[in-house]
Structure formats: C-alpha cells, structure tokens
Chain A
C-alpha cells in the first residue's frame, strides 16, 4: 500500500492538471441543483467529495410573528419620538418588500436634535456622577440582552444578514459594548495616567448599514461613558434597530436628550456633522465620505474620528494550520456577505501551498448555504441594497475583464432579493481593480507570495490600513509579520473577531481614532 506521502505528489500533479483544464469554473459539487458526476462513472484518478442533499436541512426560518414591524417610525429627540417630514421607505433586501418608513431629517430637525443633546449635556449628563451614568449605560446593555431575539429578527429583516449572525454576533456584541463601557463611566480618572479628562459635549455620530445595531453601540456606549451626549444618524437603509435602541433608551429612562436618533441619508449626515454646536464627530463608512467629512470640518476644532474602508490582507504561510486557515478565509470574506470594512478580501497564500489551500477552500465553499437570511441555517444572506449589489457586480465584471480567473459557488439564489454568490478570483495581479478597491461583497482575490517579505510588501501595498490576518503556527514569525503590517487590527490564526475591550480602527486612509477598549475612550475625551 502506498502511504500518504507517496500519494501526495501525484495528487498535487493531478490537481494542477485538473485546474488548468477548467480555467474558469464553478464549484461543481456545490448544491443540490447541480448535477454531480454519477458514482458509477467517476474520473477514478481524482477523488472528489460530494456535497449534496442526501441528508439536508429543512427550512428553519426564525419566526417574525412575535415582533411586528410598524408602518412608520420617527425621530427620537429629547426623549420623545417626534414625527418629521419626507418619509422614505426601508426595504427588506432579501424580499425587496417595504418594511416601514422613516422621516428624513432636514436642517430644522438636526438643529432640534443637537439642541436637545446640548441641553441634556448641560443640564443632566455632565453633572451626573460617573457611577450614575454607568448605571444608565448598564440598563441599556441589559435591555438589549432581554430583547435580543427581537433585535436579531428585526436586524436580519432590515439588513439582509443571516439570523445566525445577528443572533450570535451583532446583538450580543452590542449588549457587551454597553456593559463594558458602563464600568468605565466612574473609572475615567484611572484610564489615562497623569491626565485629567473631561467630556467633549455633543457627539454627532454617523454610522453605516453593515452592522446597524452594533455600530450604534460602538458609537453610543463610549460617548455616554465619557459624559457626552449624542445625536446618532443610522444609515438610511437600516434604521430599524436604531429605532429599537431609541425605545430601549426611553425605557431605560435616560435623561431626555442624552441620546437622540435622527433619520436620513447623506445630506442629513452632512448637516449633522457640520452643525456648529457639535463638539465631536464620529463617522464609520466609506473612505470617500470620510474624506468629505474631514474636509467639511476643517478649522472647526471639532474632534474627529473616522473608521473607513479597508482591503485587508489575509496571509497564509506554508506552516499554517491549513484546515483552520480555510475557516479563517471563509469568515474573513463571507461573514456578513463580505460587507465588512475589515474583511479579509485579499488572500495572500504562500506559493508552495496554493493548491492545498484552493482545494480546501472549494470544498468548504460547497457547504455554504446562501439564501433566506431568516433561516437559521443560512450562512450567506442578502446584500444590503440594490446599489451595493450593482457595485459588487460591476467590480466582479471588471475582474473578469482584466483577466483574473473567477470561481463562483453554483448554488441556487432566491428569485427576489439582492443576492450574490460567494466568489473568488485567482490569477490576480496587484494592479487589478479587484485587488485594490474595496468591493464590500463576498468576493475574494487570491494572490501568492514566496517569502515573508513579499507577503508584507503586498499586504502593505494599499492606501488602506485597517486589518490583516496572519496564519502560521510559528509564533515568532507571526509576531514579526504582525509588527510589519501597517494595519490597526491584526488577527493571528483567526479573523473577524471582535470584543468591546479590543480597540478597533485603522492606519492610513482607513481612518484615525479607535473604537473599543481603553483606547476607544480617548476618542471621546479631552485630555489635559
């Protein structure tokens, strides 16, 4: 009998031939709809795995029935829900149905909200002891936990991300952010040695649609802990959980005006951050808009933090735990449909292990379940909006046009809704658009490197600098490479892990300032 080692070389040769034959391919044994090669007529020389429906999971949709959505929601200003004008719809991206509508805040509403925040800061929040502030923040965290199922179900409908993510990631982390920061509120004197810190005043916060509730938590919790009051504007496509958070804030009986939430699109955000009575601006979103905000605040003296785009390199060395690295590749790019600023969208694989990695990746992708986000077994849900889907589609087309080789999961997609198949590209050059631009979708580019130096050079060859992953079993190598990468978050042998105590933020054009942890507090205080 041949041993594993003796087989290994001939297998690699076969796979290489196989790969060359199907230059542009689908993942064959991917879904129940795809015809697999019949067992009686296999290509005997190439063992294959069949990921079919011999035993399959029944649909397991999470019930929406206990959590009805109203037809219309309002701004939350000064502790009250106040109606507005110019109502616009928010749709469920998985069904394209209208879920509800919210008003778009014009200048008047922005003024009102900032005035409410200012007054709350002056009258209550600034005067309140840290210990008391902490208890309010704690209430919010606990109430998020209590209503976690509702928040998960609503978030999934408004955003399109799978219920398993909202249930296991977004909502618990949002609660954890409030609980973590609650404890800081009365300990700020110990946070920054030798310094006296004070609150800034009114924080204007503009957040994206990819983690609606979680981003709201990332913004509001540290702001409140440090004694600021806030006006938050959620993204126009995902205002629902922000409204729920407003209800929680109301039920938690926070002093009116400490948290204000207004709706609207870019213009509202722009009016908010430029409001003269705002002291602090925190923005998470695209680099393009981040730059506009930075420009618009020039000379204003407002403290600004920006958490912008990324093009994270996920580097797999030949001494990596390969089976686990593949999990990291998958979560790096398909978590939240790849709509993650810190996504590991550029896979850099050491040349010697490209084939073993690709083979594992194909088999792993074949078991991904794409579809109804409310189904508890869905791994990849809907893209948040038609506009985003179109952007992904056009970049993928550019990738094909520029000569990269595309491999796509050949699973069935729902007839309605904005879905995109998990995709990767090989034969990618650093100069390709898909290797440079943030796609913000389930699209991975795969490149190879020969030495650690080359890996670092490729990883750093971008104006972004948010995140990176390194896969190696060798600790000394991992720490050396981590030190050389110009990125604010470096995951060793893991990817896309978040914790309220772990500071998050970018280098270069990925922004400045940190969110989370001790260092996140710095973004919301004046240090004297």
Chain B
C-alpha cells in the first residue's frame, strides 16, 4: 500500500470554465477545414457497443463498420472498437490486420463495485484475450470519501495487469460533483500511470461535456509541461453530432496544440456519432443534405 498525496492544485472556477468552453463552439469550421475535421473525428472514434444484449454478430458488424465506415469514401478507419471483455476475442479476430485497436471496459464496468482482485483479474484476462486498450473505472466511492491512496493503488494495480495494453482511466465525472474534483481525479489518475484519462462510462445521463473535458485537457497540459509525460484524453458519452465533435477538436487544438490532434492522444467514445459524421461527409461530396436511411446502422 502506498500513501499517495494529491499535489497542491490551483482551483477551478465553474462559471469561467463554462464560459471558455462555450467560446470554442463559436469557431466557424467550413470547407477544407471541415473535411479535415471529419476525417480526424472518424480516426479518433472509439466506436462503442456496451449493451447487455451485445452478441458476437453485433460486434462483428460493428468491427466491419469501424474498419470501413463508408464505402467508396476517402475516410480512415476508426481508432478502436470498444466492447465488453467477453467480446474482445471476436473483435480482435474481426479487426485483424486492419490497424483498428480493440478496447475493452474492464474493472466491473460501469460501477467498478467489486473486489479489487476480481477487477485486476478481469483486466488480466481481457488483455490476454487480445485487448489493446483497457478502459477502467476509478473507485468513485473511495475517491469521494477522500481515500486517494486507495484509488491510486488500484489504478497502479490495474496498470500493472495491463502489461503492454494502454490504460484509459474513466473518472466518471458525472459522479464527482465539481470541476475541482475532476481536476484532482485527473492528476491522481495521471500520477498513477494513466495513458489516457476519460470522462465517463456513458452509462450516466451526465456524460462528456465541453467544460469537463476542458478541465481535464488543462490538467493534461499542466501535467505535460511539468513532467514531460504525454497523457491522452477521451471524452465519452453524449457526443452525437459531427458539429459537437469538432467543437472538441477546436478545444484540443487551442488548449494542447497540434500534437494532441491525433488518435494517439485524443479519442472520442461514441456510437451514433459516426453516422452523423458520414452524413456530413456525403453532404460535402454531393452537396445534398442527407437522410439516415442511406447509412448502415450496425
């Protein structure tokens, strides 16, 4: 057991954060810059299915969609397919050779409420099954009760179990209450070895927002400038439209700069977003506003 102490952090003012986040939505993204944004967005998507009713067939379809989002379109594959642990093997097989990663939500997702040894074992088996990336949830109960060392140790244990797999640490910001807590949790997760920090499980009504992502991006920036260590960012949940997504890109560009405008450092956890991006892409190519019936729903 370690005894982890949170660093002294400057506070966060909610009103100002919300105001700044809002300002990113005022950027006008047109023409080439829009096309480039759409391509970037696709390349950054962790295309996700996390349902009790998921089947291997469903996952296979999703994988194929992720590899080739739109036929005859000059679009990249998505960054990763994100599934529950039992679906990792089939995803891995389906995606073989595509370059698309397999991500999986381990650690008793979404609540995280089981014994640490079971969570670590879940991660170990998921990695063994072929997951390239593990999306873990932090122990919000421990965090909210002030037991930062426990949260820290658990992340360290999971990171260890990840071996070569990348670790994304989900803060579940909707349960943390304030932006200051989000900022603290971000530093804690980064200190414990997170490769990415991620806003949400997507299982709560309050998921990724621009302000909460801004607070996390600023934490990443501060951490990077202080330590030189690069940490990625993944907002997840609630990003449904291309326009919403490029607001995030604007924010990344103006907060962390060019180096973070890459799937290695920025991901968007989403499911319905992809089709909206594809509709925008078709609109760009054809000049016609699109209808959903022309786009596959896998």
Give the complex CA separation of A2 and B229 in angstroms: 10
Q: How many residues of B contact A (CB 8 A)?
A: 45
Among the listed B16, B37, B190, B226, which residue makes an inter-chain contact with A8, where contact means beta carbons less than 8 Å apart? B226
Give the complex CA separation of A493 and B40 in angstroms: 35
Contact A55 B257 (CB under 8 A): no
Among the listed B11, B13, B227, B253, which residue makes an inter-chain contact with A7, where contact means beta carbons less than 8 Å apart? B227
Chain B residues near A56: list those with CB within 8 A. 33
**Nearest B residue to A320, CB-CB:** B10
Among the listed A3, A5, A47, which residue makes an inter-chain contact with B228, where contact means beta carbons less than 8 Å apart? A47
Chain B residues near A8: list those with CB within 8 A. 7, 226
Chain A residues near B8: list those with CB within 8 A. 5
Contact B7 A319 (CB under 8 A): no
A26 at the interface (CB under 8 A from B): no
Chain B residues near A376: list those with CB within 8 A. 26-28
**Nearest B residue to A52, CB-CB:** B258
Contact B261 A5 (CB under 8 A): no
**Nearest B residue to A473, CB-CB:** B11
Contacts A54-B261, A324-B20 hold; do A1 and B193 have CB atoms under 8 A apart?
yes
Chain A residues near B257: list those with CB within 8 A. 29, 49-52, 363, 366
Chain A residues near B218: list those with CB within 8 A. 323
Chain A residues near B12: list those with CB within 8 A. 321, 323-324
A359 at the interface (CB under 8 A from B): yes
Taking the closest CB of chain A, its distance from the CB of B214, in whole angstroms, is 8
Among the listed B13, B17, B40, B221, which residue makes an inter-chain contact with A55, where contact means beta carbons less than 8 Å apart? B40
Among the listed A4, A359, A363, A367, which residue makes an inter-chain contact with B253, where contact means beta carbons less than 8 Å apart? A367
Contacts A57-B27, A57-B29, A324-B12 hold; do A49 and B193 have CB atoms under 8 A apart?
no
Taking the closest CB of chain B, its distance from the CB of A216, in whole angstroms, is 25
A398 at the interface (CB under 8 A from B): no
**A58, A323, A376: which has the most chain B beta carbons within 10 Å?**
A323
A33-64 vs B, Cβ < 8 Å mask (1 yes, 0 no): 00000000000110101111111111010000
**B10, B223, B249, B254: which has the most chain A beta carbons within 10 Å?**
B10
A375-387 vs B, Cβ < 8 Å mask (1 yes, 0 no): 0110000000000
Which B residues, 257 to 276, have Cβ-Cβ distances below 8 Å to chain A? 257-259, 261
Chain B residues near A49: list those with CB within 8 A. 221, 224-225, 256-257, 259
B31 at the interface (CB under 8 A from A): yes
Chain A residues near B19: list those with CB within 8 A. 327
B144 at the interface (CB under 8 A from A): no
Interface class of chain A by DSSP: loop
Give the complex CA separation of A198 and B19 in angstroms: 41
B51 at the interface (CB under 8 A from A): no
Among the listed B13, B28, B34, which residue makes an inter-chain contact with A473, where contact means beta carbons less than 8 Å apart? B13
B187 at the interface (CB under 8 A from A): yes
Give the interface residue-count category, chain A.
35 or more
A11 at the interface (CB under 8 A from B): yes
Give the complex CA separation of A8 and B227 in angstroms: 7
Taking the closest CB of chain B, its distance from the CB of A473, in whole angstroms, is 4
A69-110 vs B, Cβ < 8 Å mask (1 yes, 0 no): 000000000000000000000000000000000000000000
Chain B residues near A473: list those with CB within 8 A. 11, 13
Contact A494 B226 (CB under 8 A): no
A168 at the interface (CB under 8 A from B): yes
**Nearest A residue to B159, CB-CB:** A1
B72 at the interface (CB under 8 A from A): no
Taking the closest CB of chain B, its distance from the CB of A316, in whole angstroms, is 10
Give the complex CA separation of A57 and B32 in angstroms: 8
A322 at the interface (CB under 8 A from B): yes
Chain B residues near A1: list those with CB within 8 A. 191, 193
Give the complex CA separation of A376 and B30 in angstroms: 11
**A45, A53, A58, A356: which has the most chain B beta carbons within 10 Å?**
A58
Give the complex CA separation of A54 and B13 in angstroms: 31
Chain B residues near A493: list those with CB within 8 A. 13, 15-16
Contact B28 A321 (CB under 8 A): no
Contact A55 B261 (CB under 8 A): yes
B73 at the interface (CB under 8 A from A): no
B36 at the interface (CB under 8 A from A): yes
A360-404 vs B, Cβ < 8 Å mask (1 yes, 0 no): 000100110000000011000000000000000000000000000
Give the complex CA separation of A314 and B30 in angstroms: 36
Give the complex CA separation of A327 and B16 in angstroms: 8
Chain B residues near A47: list those with CB within 8 A. 224-225, 227-228
Give the complex CA separation of A273 and B193 in angstroms: 69
Chain B residues near A51: list those with CB within 8 A. 253-254, 257-258
Which A residues, 306 to 341, have Cβ-Cβ distances below 8 Å to chain B? 319-324, 327-328
Chain B residues near A320: list those with CB within 8 A. 10-11
Contact B7 A58 (CB under 8 A): no
**A58, A324, A363: which has the most chain B beta carbons within 10 Å?**
A324
A486 at the interface (CB under 8 A from B): no
A164 at the interface (CB under 8 A from B): yes
Chain A residues near B26: list those with CB within 8 A. 164, 168, 376
Chain A residues near B187: list those with CB within 8 A. 4
**B5, B29, B190: which has the most chain A beta carbons within 10 Å?**
B29
Taking the closest CB of chain B, its distance from the CB of A61, in whole angstroms, is 9
Contact A54 B258 (CB under 8 A): yes
Contact A50 B20 (CB under 8 A): no
Contact A3 B37 (CB under 8 A): no
Give the complex CA separation of A475 and B237 in angstroms: 34
Taking the closest CB of chain A, its distance from the CB of B133, in whole angstroms, is 20
**B30, B32, B226: which has the most chain A beta carbons within 10 Å?**
B226
**A3, A320, A377: which has the most chain B beta carbons within 10 Å?**
A3
Give the complex CA separation of A3 and B187 in angstroms: 9
Taking the closest CB of chain A, its distance from the CB of B120, in whole angstroms, is 19
Give the complex CA separation of A323 and B223 in angstroms: 13
Taking the closest CB of chain A, its distance from the CB of B152, in whole angstroms, is 10
Give the complex CA separation of A320 and B13 in angstroms: 9
Closest 9 CB pairs of A and B: A324-B16, A60-B28, A54-B258, A376-B28, A473-B11, A7-B227, A321-B13, A322-B10, A49-B257
Q: 22 A-B pairs, CB-CB below 8 angstroms?
A: A3-B7, A4-B223, A5-B7, A47-B228, A50-B257, A51-B254, A51-B257, A51-B258, A55-B33, A55-B261, A58-B31, A60-B30, A319-B10, A319-B11, A320-B10, A321-B16, A322-B10, A324-B20, A327-B16, A327-B20, A356-B10, A363-B257
Given contacts A7-B227, A327-B16, 18 further A-B contacts (CB under 8 A): A1-B193, A4-B7, A4-B190, A4-B223, A11-B225, A45-B228, A50-B259, A55-B249, A58-B31, A164-B26, A319-B11, A321-B12, A323-B12, A323-B17, A324-B20, A328-B16, A367-B254, A493-B16
* B binding-site residues for A, Cβ under 8 Å: 5, 7-8, 10-13, 15-17, 19-20, 26-34, 36-37, 40, 187, 190-191, 193, 218, 221-228, 249, 253-254, 256-259, 261
